[in-house]
Amino acid sequence: MEYNFRRIEKEWQRVWKETGAYKVENNYTKPKAYVLDMFPYPSGAGLHVGHPLGYIASDIYSRFKRLKGFNVLHPMGYDAFGLPAEQYAIENGVHPAVSTEKNIENFRRQLDNIGFCYDWDREVRTSDPSYYKWTQWIFLQLFSSFFNRTNGQATPVTELVKAFEKEGNATHACPGNPSLVFDAAAWKAFSEKEKQDVLMEYRLAYCGEGEVNWCEALGTVLANDEVVNGVSERGGYPVVKKKLRQWYLRITEYADRLLEGLERIDFSDAMKEMQTNWIGRSYGAEIDFAVKSEKATVKNLRVYTTRPDTIFGVDFMVVAPELDWVPGLVSDEQAAAVEAYLDYVQRRSERERMAEKKISGVFTGAYAINPFDGREIPIWISEYVLAGYGTGAIMAVPCGDERDYKFAQHFGIPVTNIIGSHFNGSEANPTKEAVLENSGFLTGMRMRDAIGAAIDKLEAMGIGKRKVNYRMRDAAFSRQRYWGEPFPIQWKNGVAVPLPASELPLELPHVDSYQPGPEGEGPLANIPSWVAKELETNTMPGYAGSSWYFLRYMDPHNNEAFCSRAASDYWEQVDLYIGGTEHAVGHLLYSRMWTKALYDLGYIGHDEPYKKLVNQGMIQGSSRFVFRVNGTNLFVSKGLLDAGGNYDGKTVDKLHVDVNIVDGYELDTEAFRNWKPDFAAAEFLLEDGKYICGSEVEKMSKSKFNTVNPDDLVEKYGADTFRMYEMFLGPVEMSKPWDTKGIEGVHRFLKKFWRLYMDEEKGLQVVDAPATAEELKVLHRAIRKIEEDTERFSFNTAVSGFMICVNELSDLKCRKKPVLSDLLVLITPYAPHIAEELWHLLGNAGSVLDAVYPVFEEKYVRESAKAYPVAINGKTRAEITISLDAGQQEVEQIVLTDPGIAKWLEGKPPKKVIYVKNKMINVVV
C-alpha cells in the first residue's frame, strides 16, 4: 500500500466534518487555550502560499494544546466590510454582499483544503446583521460613555450629567475643549441642545469638526494609520487635509493606559516600539511669552517645549501657518510677505511637504519677550511647525536643535550659545548633559537638572506649566461609504440621538447607486427613506467590526449580548494571537482600546485582549523573467546576455513569466508558448539545451505572476506535505521568498514516514511488541524535542526533529506498535491526515485528534559518557564528561575533555562535585 494522500485527506476531512471533530464547547471545567488568527478580508484574489503561514502555525499550536488536554478555542471568520468590495461594486455593478459571499466561499474552500481545525460553527462575518448588531451596540456604549480622568476609566455619561448638575465641570475638565469651564448654575441654564453639545465634547465616540484626511478618489475620509506617505494605503490615491464634521473615537484619553498595558503583554519589542512611537508621549512644558506687536489682537504666545532648560537660548519663535490667530501677529510692513507665504503653503500638498523638506518661512513683524531677560525674540511663521501638535508654536533654540539651527542659518538669525564648548558653531547639539552658560539663574546647572528648575520657576511666575503631550490623534471613525456598519444614530434638530437597543441592528439598506451623496455624504444620503428618518448617512470604518471580533467567537450565537460574561470569563484573553505586522498601529490599538472600555464598563473581566502576539513573516514572491529581443519574438536565455543585459548589441525586454511554468530557473518552453497567445510563436535561444530565466525577490502579487496557489501544491503533494513544508521554510516570524523546490524533501519524508508503518506489497508492518531501550531512546528524544519546539513556536526545527527521528527508527528497523503509535500522536498537529489514517490502520480506538500526548521520560534519553557543562564555584566554566547510566543519580567518574579547563584545574583538586538535574555539574575548588 502506498501513501495515497489524496484519498486519505479527502476521506478524513469528510469524517471529521461528519463527526464534528472540531466542535468546541464552552466547557467551564476544563483548562482553556484561546488561539486566534487575524481574520482575513475576503478579497477576490483568494489565498496565495503566504496567507496560510500563520494559520498553519496557529493550527499546529491549537492541535498540540488539544492533545495536551486543553479545551482549545480556535475560530475563524471574515472581516467582510470594506472598501475593495465597494470599489468592485462600482466598477462591475455587483452588490458588495454578493461579491463578498462569493469570495468567502472561495476562501473557505481553500482553507478546508489545508485541513485546519477551525470550529466553523463559530464563524463570524462582520457584515452579517446578527454580528454588526453588536458592533452598533458597543458603539452606543462608547457614545454613552466618557473617560473619567479621576479614576482613569470609561464611565457612563449619566454620571457626568449628575456631576455637572452638582458642581459644573470643575472636576471633569473637558477633553474636547480644554478652555470650556462652567458651574452648576451655568449647566442648568444651558438649553438641551447646548447640554448635548457639551456632552459631545466628552463622549468616547463623538461627532465633531476636525481636520481629517480626505481622499477624493475613494470619496471618503481615512484614519491616520490608513494614510501612508501622504497617499491612501489602499490604492495609493492622494490624500488632502480637510475640515469636516466627522465621528471620532476619543482614543487619546486611553493613551496612558495603552502604554501601560504594553508592559503586561507579550508582544515583540518592535511591535511595542511601534505602538509607543505612534502614541508618542512626551513630557514638557507650555510657556506663555508676552507679545510685542503693532496690533493688540494677540497678547500672548503659548509654546510647547520639552526643553524649558534652554529658554535662554531662544533666538526666535515659530508658529504654524494654518493657525487662525496668526494674522493677528502680523505687522503692516510684513503683511504682504506673510500673505504670499501663507498662499505658498496652502498650495503645497501634504505629499510635497513630506517629500521635499524645504526650509521656508516668513517673519511676522512681531516679537515675543523672554520673561527672564527681557530679550525681544522675533516671531516667524514656518511650515516645519505643525498646527496639530502641542500649541502649534515653538520656541526655537538653534544651538540645541538641528531644525532650528538650519532655519536660523537659512534666514541669517544670530545664534546664542548656551552650552559652551558643546556647541561647535556649525551643528546643533541636543545634549542634556552640558552645563549651561549665558543662562541667567540657570547658569552653571546641568541641563538635565535645569529642566525641572526652569519649569518650577515658570509655574511660580504663573506663565508656564508642566504638560504631557501625545502624538496620537483621536481616530476618525466615519466613512462616506456604503459597505460598512450604519451608525445607530438619528439626528434630531442637530442633536445625535442613539437608537434604542431594541431597534438594533439598524440594517444596511439596499442601494442602487454607490455614488457619494451631496456635500461629501455617503451613498446612504441618496436614499429618501433613510434621510426621512434623519439617520446618520456615514458608515463605520473597516476597523469597527475587527475591534471586538475575538469576543464574539466566545459566544457567537448569543442574541441577548455581544458575549455572555460567563463565556468571556472562561475564555478570557487570547492566549496566542498570530498575524502580520501591518496592523501594529491600527487594529491592534483600536481593539485594545475597545477591550479597555468594555472592561471599564463591566462587560468583560480583562482589559488587554491578547496575552501573546506572534507576527508571522511575509512570504515574498520569487519572480522569474524571460528576455525578449526588442521588437522580435526571440527569447534569449539569461546566460547569453552580455554584461549590460543586452543581446548581440540589441536591447532586450525583461518580462515577468508565470513562476508555475518554470522549474527552478529552467523555463518550460512548451508551456510558455501555450501561456499567452502573444507567445504562441515564440522562438528560443537556449544555453546547454535549456532556457534559463532571470529572477528577483518581490512582493507576491498576481500582476508579477509570482503567486503560488496552495490549491495546486495540495493537489500535487497533499495538505500534510504543504503544512509541514510551510513550517520547514524557516522561523514563522521571518520573512522569506517562496521556493517551491524544497517541498520535495518534505514530501519524501512523509513517504518515508508512511513506509515505517506500511510496505507497498505486504501492507501493515507494525508488530505489537515491547520496544527496545534503543528504540525508546529515539522516541523520547523526539518527544522532548517536538514538545519543546512546538511550545516555543520553533516549528521549523520541530519538523527537522521528525525527520531525524524517522531516519533513526528506519535505521533501527523499528516496527514496534508502542513506539509508532506515540509517534503518530506526536506528528498529529503537523500532519493530521496521515496520522489519523495510520492510527486506524494500527487498530487504535477513537481519533488520533483526541489521543493523549505521549509523556517524555528522561531515563530513556540519558546517555552514559555524555558531555555536560561544568561550573566552577557556581559560574559556568567548562565541559566535562561524566559516566552516568539510566536512572542513576550519582556521578561515577569525571573526565575533563577540554584541555583548556584541564590545564586551568591542574593542581586544584575539586573539593566537592554536585550533580544538578542532568544539566550542570558544579565543581567547588
Partner RNA sequence: GCGGGCGUGGCGAAACUGGCAGACGCACCAGACUUAGGAUCUGGCGCCGCAAGGCAUGUAGGUUCGACUCCUAUCGCCCGCACCA
- Binders of RNA among residues 849 to 868 (CB under 7 A) are 867
Side chain identity, residue 278: W
Q: How far apart are CB 674 and RNA at their closest, in Å?
A: 16
Which of 20, 31, 235, 745 is the binder for RNA (CB under 7 A)? 745
Are 228 and 586 contacting, i.e. CB atoms less than 8 angstroms apart?
Answer: no
Q: How far apart are CB 488 and RNA at their closest, in Å?
A: 32
- Binders of RNA among residues 226 to 245 (CB under 7 A) are 228
Listed ranges 190-198, 246-254, 445-453, 733-741: which one lies at the site for RNA (CB under 7 A): 733-741
The residues with which 287 forms a beta bridge, in sequence order, are 303, 464
- Binders of RNA among residues 563 to 602 (CB under 7 A) are 581, 584-585
Q: What are phi and psi of 331, to 5 degrees?
A: -80, 160
Tell me the three state secondary structure of residue 763. strand
Tell me the three state secondary structure of residue 391. coil
Whichever of 28 and 283 has its CB closer to RNA, that residue is 283
- Binders of RNA among residues 68 to 127 (CB under 7 A) are none
Whichever of 306 and 564 has its CB closer to RNA, that residue is 306
| C-alpha span between 747 and 208 (Å, rounded) | 59
Which of 6, 102, 109, 358 is the binder for RNA (CB under 7 A)? 358
- Asked if residue 282 binds RNA (CB under 7 A), the reply is yes
Contacts with RNA by CB under 7 A: the residue count is: 80
| C-alpha span between 907 and 904 (Å, rounded) | 8
Whichever of 506 and 693 has its CB closer to RNA, that residue is 693
Q: How far apart are CB 803 and RNA at their closest, in Å?
A: 4
Are 820 and 835 contacting, i.e. CB atoms less than 8 angstroms apart?
Answer: no
Q: How far apart are CB 636 and RNA at their closest, in Å?
A: 23
CA 803 → CA 188, 503, 858, distances in Å? Answer: 77, 59, 21
| C-alpha span between 512 and 595 (Å, rounded) | 37
- Asked if residue 62 binds RNA (CB under 7 A), the reply is no
Residue 77 falls in which region: left (phi positive, over 0), alpha (psi -120 to 50) or beta: beta
Whichever of 79 and 383 has its CB closer to RNA, that residue is 383
- Asked if residue 260 binds RNA (CB under 7 A), the reply is no
- Asked if residue 925 binds RNA (CB under 7 A), the reply is no
Whichever of 198 and 870 has its CB closer to RNA, that residue is 870
- CB atoms closer than 10 angstroms to residue 444: 10
- Burial code (b: 16+ CB inside 10 Å, e: under 16) for 454-474 equals bbebbeeeebbeebebbbbbb
Q: What is the DSSP letter of 913?
A: E
Which of 68, 904, 910, 915 is the binder for RNA (CB under 7 A)? 904
Q: How far apart are CB 227 and RNA at their closest, in Å?
A: 9
Whichever of 731 and 910 has its CB closer to RNA, that residue is 731
- Asked if residue 452 binds RNA (CB under 7 A), the reply is no
- Asked if residue 471 binds RNA (CB under 7 A), the reply is yes
Q: Give CA angle at 517 (78, 488), nearest 5°.
A: 50
Q: How far apart are CB 79 and RNA at their closest, in Å?
A: 20
Q: What are phi and psi of 10, to 5 degrees?
A: -60, -45
Whichever of 716 and 840 has its CB closer to RNA, that residue is 716
Whichever of 646 and 800 has its CB closer to RNA, that residue is 800
Which of 118, 367, 627, 728 is the binder for RNA (CB under 7 A)? 728
- The three cell numbers of residue 810 are 528506519
Q: How far apart are CB 419 and RNA at their closest, in Å?
A: 15
- Asked if residue 720 binds RNA (CB under 7 A), the reply is no
Q: How far apart are CB 279 and RNA at their closest, in Å?
A: 10
- CB atoms closer than 10 angstroms to residue 387: 18
Whichever of 237 and 904 has its CB closer to RNA, that residue is 904
Q: What are phi and psi of 316, to 5 degrees?
A: -160, 165
Q: How far apart are CB 665 and RNA at their closest, in Å?
A: 10
Q: How far apart are CB 177 and RNA at their closest, in Å?
A: 20
Give yes or no for a cis peptide into 505 (omega within 30° of 0). yes
Residues in the chain: 925
Which of 277, 300, 443, 674 is the binder for RNA (CB under 7 A)? 277
Tell me the three state secondary structure of residue 591. helix
- Asked if residue 263 binds RNA (CB under 7 A), the reply is no
Residue 235 C-alpha from the chain's centroid: 20
- Asked if residue 1 binds RNA (CB under 7 A), the reply is no
Residue 793 falls in which region: left (phi positive, over 0), alpha (psi -120 to 50) or beta: left
Side chain identity, residue 82: G
Strand locations in 390-429, DSSP E?
A: 393-396
Which of 304, 647, 691, 793 is the binder for RNA (CB under 7 A)? 304
Are 843 and 766 contacting, i.e. CB atoms less than 8 angstroms apart?
Answer: no
x/- mask, RNA, residues 781-810, rule CB under 7 A, reads ----x--x-----x-xx-xx--xx--x--x
- The three cell numbers of residue 478 are 466615519
- Binders of RNA among residues 8 to 27 (CB under 7 A) are none
Q: How far apart are CB 251 and RNA at their closest, in Å?
A: 15
Strand locations in 630-698, DSSP E?
A: 634-636, 652-657, 662-663, 666-667, 683-685, 694-698
CA 357 → CA 122, 331, 397, distances in Å? Answer: 51, 27, 19
Q: How far apart are CB 785 and RNA at their closest, in Å?
A: 6
- The three cell numbers of residue 617 are 513573516
Whichever of 194 and 273 has its CB closer to RNA, that residue is 273
- The three cell numbers of residue 249 are 473615537
Q: How far apart are CB 163 and RNA at their closest, in Å?
A: 32
Side-chain half-sphere CA neighbours of 233 within 13 A: 15
Listed ranges 136-144, 351-359, 687-695, 705-713: which one lies at the site for RNA (CB under 7 A): 351-359
Q: How far apart are CB 885 and RNA at their closest, in Å?
A: 18
- The three cell numbers of residue 153 are 476609566
Whichever of 572 and 879 has its CB closer to RNA, that residue is 879
Which of 31, 509, 645, 900 is the binder for RNA (CB under 7 A)? 900
- Binders of RNA among residues 123 to 182 (CB under 7 A) are none
Q: What is the DSSP letter of 509?
A: P
- Asked if residue 328 binds RNA (CB under 7 A), the reply is no
Q: Residue 839 contacts by C-beta under 8 Å, 6 or more apart in sequence?
A: 821, 824, 847, 848, 851
x/- mask, RNA, residues 380-419, rule CB under 7 A, reads ---xxxx-xxx-x-xx-----x-x----------------
- Asked if residue 695 binds RNA (CB under 7 A), the reply is no
x/- mask, RNA, residues 502-541, rule CB under 7 A, reads ----------------------------------------
- Asked if residue 729 binds RNA (CB under 7 A), the reply is yes
Q: How far apart are CB 542 and RNA at their closest, in Å?
A: 17
- Asked if residue 306 binds RNA (CB under 7 A), the reply is yes
Which of 749, 830, 853, 860 is the binder for RNA (CB under 7 A)? 749
Exposed/middle/buried for residue 555 (C-beta within 10 Å: 0-12, 13-18, 19+): buried
785 closest CA partner among 741, 746, 826: 826
Q: How far apart are CB 861 and RNA at their closest, in Å?
A: 12
Are 824 and 816 contacting, i.e. CB atoms less than 8 angstroms apart?
Answer: no
| C-alpha span between 896 and 882 (Å, rounded) | 9
Q: How far apart are CB 239 and RNA at their closest, in Å?
A: 13
Please, what sign has the CA dihedral across residues 780, 786, 792, 794?
Answer: positive
- Asked if residue 554 binds RNA (CB under 7 A), the reply is no
- Asked if residue 811 binds RNA (CB under 7 A), the reply is yes
Q: How far apart are CB 232 and RNA at their closest, in Å?
A: 13
